[in-house]
């Protein structure tokens, strides 16, 4: 039995050394201190999700710019080279070139004109005058642009929230490492004390082995805590667009943020994402109006000026054409009516989505308020539990060293003490983030 216990002791010692070496290797990684303000600034400057949102806004802006076509003229320059022996076209080319003579009316020449060339250079212009459905589409593009702008601003706020949350998680992870390192120091002291007393025959071997197991447990938890610091640091580096090979460490420690602050929280209907949804509804209403306006006639002014010559890029003869084009799609095979029905259904859908989103947002605010109150209460209770567990450990430790307590009682008290330390740190994180999240929901 004693041999088995000795093997367990050796294995526990080896395991502790391996974990300790791994922890030391993690510490050897290059690190960099970073403040919360730096994190927010870099996130808003380099975050990939925000850059994607900005490109979506640029796309919406380009769509709005393209809708200017409904107001501005369209100008086209073309040069057409034509070769034919078609009698009708050949005579027409001569007329365009203003090169018709009496010999050209010879029936033989009219029927067999031979190869005739014409080089036509033309400038065409079309100016929209009345295009009501197009005007509505331009308004739709403008509203969509405003919605996209608001969504981009809301994305900025979300990225800032995510950066703050991750920074707080890094603070919590670092605090956890500090607590576990302190626990490891305490456990090692108890182990040394137990070893000395074992050699003097004052305690049994089982008590010493319990101390070794406790050290191994803490080393394992410390390894996991250091890995968590690494994970959170890498994610924070991703958020701010930095190299994740550098271990980030917060300059600010985890402290309570205005515990006794008391204010009312309510859903802000001027919140950017809610305004963006309203713009989306307005845009859809314009699309419906545009579909209805397709039954109204359109009017466009047209003009062209051209040169015709028998030589390439020649400008021998010129002429112009100016006119007014009126068009009316009286019936398009039920296409326009079907489009109206589609836009009505889409308008109803976006209205329902807006109402649903508002209701969900209000529920989220109420939930966040309750979470904040719970977190505040949790800080009070966990703080009290921490003080009590600290005192209980102090008393148990003193009694153990006087031989009045068993090793398992000491280990239990020590474990509870450090557990309460971690719970208190998590309570602070929950409270601080709840406040930040409520601000995000109600700003």
pLDDT (tens digit per residue) in 4-45: 444 444 444 444 444 444 444 444 568 899 999 999 999 999
- Mean pLDDT, residues 109-123 taken together: 89
Any residues with CB less than 8 A from the CB of 205 and at least 6 apart, and which?
A: 2, 5, 198
Any residues with CB less than 8 A from the CB of 206 and at least 6 apart, and which?
A: 5, 407
In whole angstroms, give the CA distance from residue 280 to residue 148.
Answer: 9
Q: Identify whether 247 is part of a domain.
A: yes
Burial of 309 (0-12, 13-18, 19+ CB in 10 A): buried
Share of the chain above pLDDT 70, in %: 93
Q: What is the secondary structure of 118-181 as a DSSP string?
A: EEEEEEEEEEEEE-HHHHHHHHHHHHHHHHHHHHHHHHHHHHHHHHHHHHHHHHHHHHHHHHHH
Partner residues linked to 210 by β-bridges: none
Lowest mean pLDDT among 93-97, 212-216, 352-356, 404-408: 404-408
Q: Identify whether 78 is part of a domain.
A: no
Using pLDDT thresholds of 50, 70 and 90, give the confidence band for residue 267.
very high
Higher pLDDT, 284 or 109: 284
Decide if 174 contacts 229 (C-beta within 8 A).
Answer: yes
Decide if 170 contacts 229 (C-beta within 8 A).
Answer: yes
In whole angstroms, give the CA distance from residue 406 to residue 400.
Answer: 6
Q: Identify whether 438 is part of a domain.
A: yes
Q: Identify whether 229 is part of a domain.
A: yes
Using pLDDT thresholds of 50, 70 and 90, give the confidence band for residue 77.
very high
Assign residue 363 the CATH number of its domain. 1.20.1600.10
- Mean pLDDT, residues 169-178 taken together: 95
In whole angstroms, give the CA distance from residue 109 to residue 120.
Answer: 23
Per residue in 315-338, pLDDT tens? 888 899 999 999 888 877 788 888
Dig out the tokens for 360 from the structure.
Answer: 């969900």
Q: Identify whether 273 is part of a domain.
A: yes
- Mean pLDDT, residues 258-281 taken together: 90
Total structural domains in the chain? 1
Q: Which of 51, 125, 441, 135 lies closest to 300 in space, CA to CA?
A: 125
- Mean pLDDT, residues 54-60 taken together: 93
Q: pTM score, two decimals? A: 0.80
Domain range for 213 is 2-73+131-297+337-442
Q: Identify whether 57 is part of a domain.
A: yes
**Residue holding tokens 């009708």?**
88
| Sheet with 74-84: strands ordered across | 74-84, 116-130, 298-309, 317-327
- Mean pLDDT, residues 138-144 taken together: 94
Per residue in 178-237, pLDDT tens? 999 999 998 898 888 888 888 887 778 888 888 888 899 999 999 999 999 999 999 999
pLDDT at 259 over 90: no
Q: Identify whether 345 is part of a domain.
A: yes
Q: What is the pLDDT of residue 99?
A: 85
Q: Identify whether 113 is part of a domain.
A: no
Cα end-to-end span (Å), the chain: 67
Using pLDDT thresholds of 50, 70 and 90, give the confidence band for residue 104.
confident
């Amino acid at each position: 039995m004693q041999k088995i216990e000795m093997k367990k002791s050796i294995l526990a010692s080896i395991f502790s050394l391996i974990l300790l070496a791994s922890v030391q290797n993690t510490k050897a990684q290059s690190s960099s201190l970073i403040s919360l303000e730096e994190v927010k600034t870099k996130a808003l400057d380099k975050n990939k999700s925000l850059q994607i949102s900005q490109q979506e806004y640029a796309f919406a802006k380009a769509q709005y710019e393209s809708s200017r076509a409904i107001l501005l003229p369209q100008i086209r320059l073309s040069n057409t080279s034509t070769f034919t022996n078609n009698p009708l076209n050949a005579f027409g080319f001569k007329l365009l070139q203003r090169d018709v003579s009496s010999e050209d009316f010879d029936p033989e020449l009219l029927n067999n004109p031979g190869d005739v060339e014409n080089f036509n250079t033309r400038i065409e212009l079309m100016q929209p005058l009345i295009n009501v459905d197009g005007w509505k589409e331009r308004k739709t593009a403008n509203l969509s642009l405003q919605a996209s702008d608001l969504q981009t601003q809301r994305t900025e706020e979300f990225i800032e929230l995510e950066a703050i949350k991750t920074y707080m998680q890094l603070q919590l992870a670092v605090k956890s490492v500090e607590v576990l390192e302190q626990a490891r120091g305490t456990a090692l002291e108890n182990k040394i004390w137990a070893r000395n007393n074992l050699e003097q025959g004052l305690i049994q071997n089982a008590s010493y082995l319990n101390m070794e197991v406790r050290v191994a447990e803490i080393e394992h938890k410390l390894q996991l805590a250091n890995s968590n610091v690494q994970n959170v640091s890498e994610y924070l580096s991703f958020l701010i667009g930095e190299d994740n090979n550098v271990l980030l460490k917060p300059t600010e420690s985890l402290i309570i943020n205005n515990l006794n602050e008391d204010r009312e929280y309510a859903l802000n209907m001027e919140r950017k994402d809610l305004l963006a949804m309203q713009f989306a509804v307005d845009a859809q209403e314009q699309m419906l109006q545009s579909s209805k306006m397709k039954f109204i006639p359109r009017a466009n002014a047209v003009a062209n000026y051209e040169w015709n010559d028998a030589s390439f890029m020649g400008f021998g003869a010129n002429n112009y054409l100016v006119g007014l084009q009126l068009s009316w799609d009286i019936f398009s095979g039920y296409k326009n009516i079907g489009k109206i029905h589609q836009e009505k259904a889409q308008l109803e859908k976006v209205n329902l989505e807006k109402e649903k989103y508002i209701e969900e947002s209000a529920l989220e605010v109420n939930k966040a308020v309750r979470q904040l109150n719970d977190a505040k209460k949790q800080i009070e209770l966990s703080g009290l539990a921490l003080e009590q567990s600290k005192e209980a450990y102090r008393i148990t430790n003193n009694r153990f060293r006087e031989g009045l307590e068993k090793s398992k009682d000491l280990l239990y008290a020590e474990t509870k003490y450090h557990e309460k330390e971690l719970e208190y740190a998590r309570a602070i994180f929950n409270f601080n983030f709840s406040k930040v999240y409520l601000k995000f929901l109600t700003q």
